[in-house]
Amino acid sequence: MKIRLENLTKKFPNRSKKGGPDVVAVDNFNFEIPDGKLIGLLGPSGCGKSTALNLISGLEIPTSGRIFFDDEDVTDVAAENRGIGLVFQNYALYPHLSVLKNITFPLENLKGNKKLSKERMVDKAYEAARLVQIEELMERKPSELSGGQQQRVAIARALVKRPRVLLLDEPLSNLDARLRLQTREEIRRIQRETGITTIFVTHDQEEAMSISDLIVVMKSGKIQQIDKPQTVYDDPKNLFVAKFLGTPAINVFVGAIKHGRIYIGDDPVMPVKGVENRAIYAGIRPEGFIPDEQGGLKCRLKGVEVMGRDTSILSTHYAQEGEIIRSIIDSEDAMQLSTVNEALDRKTNAVFDPIHEKDNKRGEIRFSVKPRKIFIFDRETEERIFFSTN
């Protein structure tokens, strides 16, 4: 089932003693979630992603705008009548009930021609349990389960009524790193097996990118970009999206377009066409650096981290934002660089002189940049500026 949001807005009263305008948690959402897809709502804390989920579920009433499930307007339909399954961050299991009773609980509230016999409820509970692979745990209490098992119970409970939409609000936040990885793979498997349209709220970009068909990147209640995860990573629309996606994070520099070239500080990095002179931010993905003795970007080597297949070169530049520049290159290529080998042999970093950094040649490492891995943004608006190198 597809979900369509039209001009969806949610405002909350300003609770400040000094007063002020309403707080806009969701600001004029317009997008359509395709039938049977898994969508990741992604953004920092306070961006409005959980509020958007609550609006879709019916737990919150929109200030304006409409919500459609297929062609049915459900804006004014109560949450219990929307056919949704909802999984919270804290599992919300009943501690005094067994796993079986927790899963069957939503079925016990069915009335009229939807009412089921006890035998049919148990059958449905075991169907849901098999889907999340916990059928051997049905007689246990929640206190006897691990965090990952409790989360599976919560998912089974949401699936037992075969909802039209499955909504997951930060479902992995309480799990350790290993269980997070395992459980997110399980969520993806379950979604594919059931074909239920699913919305997954998270602030973890790796989580969203790994399992989502589409991601919706949010900031301050507004949609910043909607697309396939790899497309958002490769073609961010603005500086916020570029900085939010990517591990390690993108390296950002203060620069300018001057006479048909991208400059980072005073370093001419590459020629560009079709862009007028202006102040910019330049973002370079960690994998976008090419060690090159003739490269235009002159950095100061600060350290080297060998990570098996890849090597991370740590450096600085006087025009950078943040504390360090992280460049990831193939370890075999890294071993061919005299500056890298020297740093590894000494196990110490080159002496860093911040006062004379621009002129000091000691410990210098130079890079050229892959054109597809550098993005430029207007310094004032932070919107992406598209350019050609041909």
The domain tally of the chain equals 2
pLDDT at 387 over 50: yes
CB 388 within 8 A of CB 274: yes
370: buried, middle or exposed (CB in 10 Å: 19+, 13-18, 0-12)? Answer: middle
What's 216's DSSP letter? E
pLDDT at 360 over 50: no
Residues 207 and 263 both lie in one domain:
no
Helix (H) / strand (E) containing 339: helix 338-346
> pLDDT over 90 for what percent of the chain?
67
Q: Are residues 257 and 298 in the same domain?
A: yes
In this prediction, residue 351 has a pLDDT band, given cuts at 50, 70 and 90, of: very low
* pLDDT at residue number 179: 80
Q: Is residue 337 part of a domain?
A: yes
Boundary-marking domain end, from 170, 201, 236: 236
Instruction: Report, as an integer, the average pLDDT of 93-119.
Output: 90
pLDDT at residue 172 is higher than 90: no
Residue 175: the pLDDT is 79
pLDDT at 348: 44
Q: Do 39 and 167 have their domain in common?
A: yes
For residues 132 and 267, the model is more confident at: 267
Contact between 187 and 211 (Cβ < 8 Å): yes
Range(s) of the domain holding residue 213: 3-236
Start-to-end CA span in the chain (Å): 44
Whether 232 shows a pLDDT value over 50: the answer reads yes
> What are the tens digits of pLDDT across the range 59-79?
999 999 999 999 999 999 999
90, pLDDT greater than 60: yes
∠ CA(249), CA(230), CA(56), 5° rounding? 95
User: Model confidence over 34-49: pLDDT tens digits?
Assistant: 999 999 999 999 999 9
For the entire predicted model, the pTM comes to 0.86
